Amino acid sequence: MNLDPDLKRLAALEGFFALRTGRSRPRTGRPPLPTLAEVYATPGVTEGRRGDEAADPLGFRVRKVVRLLAAPEVRVGVSVAQQGLAARLWSVALGAAVLYGRVPDLDPRLLHWDADGSAPDDLWLSRVRALPGDAATIRRLVHHGHLEPLAAALRARHPVAEGLLWGNAASALASTARLLDGWAAAHGRTDVRDRVRALAAELLGHPDLRDTGTLDGIAFRRRSCCLYYRVPGGGVCGDCCFRRTPRSSLTDPSG
């Protein structure tokens, strides 16, 4: 089945799966949405311009997450911001692959990002071009096309462990697979269930991801922690390396 211009099947899944298409709507009093290619290529800005969304959208997003979570350190915001974007990208790609058998071209030059937005209004795909829905294509689009330059851009700005970011990417992938698996079970779609499990297993087999945790069916246990437990009132996630929230603030499982 080919993709429809509005990606309606993805929109029906809502949340992180939905993707806006066509021209992005003008934002009154705000700069046009940059492409993710521009975001990844933008260097960090000087101290005096740190609040400038246009000058450094990625830095703006991290600071917004830190502020909203009242995070005690910037790397917590880096981790949460990166994992959120990774989840969006995996969700669009995997969702399309299992529902259409095809994926939209997620070239960073086609995908616009609102650093101040939330799903589904954070991402806009300017042109829908259908590509094969296999693991190799998804890996090229998401892993190599986005996660690698995103990690490089974040690490150029902040002292965050590479292993933490790849652990986040694997966790986001596994979480996406679980959501699609649950949808498939609720709708009697064994074909979707089988397809998403196969894709997730193959994608997690990449050298950057395969040592980040253990996958059993759709259950994933990671070997690092996203640091969310350091947020006031936060705890550990279902796939965390910790079974309970660490007591010591000195614990550093960042990978």
Show the CA angle centred on residue 21, arms to residues 18 and 24, nearest 5°: 115
228 or 69: which leads in pLDDT: 69
- Nearest-CA neighbor of 221 among 206, 230, 211, 229? 211
Please give the angle made by the CA atoms of 175, 135 and 141, to the nearest 5 degrees: 85
Q: How far is residue 82's CA from residue 252's CA, in Å, rounded to a whole number?
A: 18
- 9 pLDDT more than 80: yes
Whether 45 and 52 have beta carbons less than 8 Å apart is answered as yes
Lowest mean pLDDT among 39-43, 156-160, 217-221: 217-221
Averaged pLDDT score across all residues of the chain: 87
Express as a percent the part of the chain with pLDDT over 90.
64
pTM for this prediction: 0.89
174-186: pLDDT as tens digits: 999 999 999 999 9
Q: In this structure, what token pair is assigned to residue 100?
A: 């259409």
Torsion angles phi and psi, residue 47, rounded to 5: -55, -40
Mean pLDDT over 246-253 rounds to 53
Listed by start position, the domains of the chain span 8-23+32-42+54-230
pLDDT (mean) for 119-140: 95
Identify the helix (H) or strand (E) that includes residue 157: helix 148-157
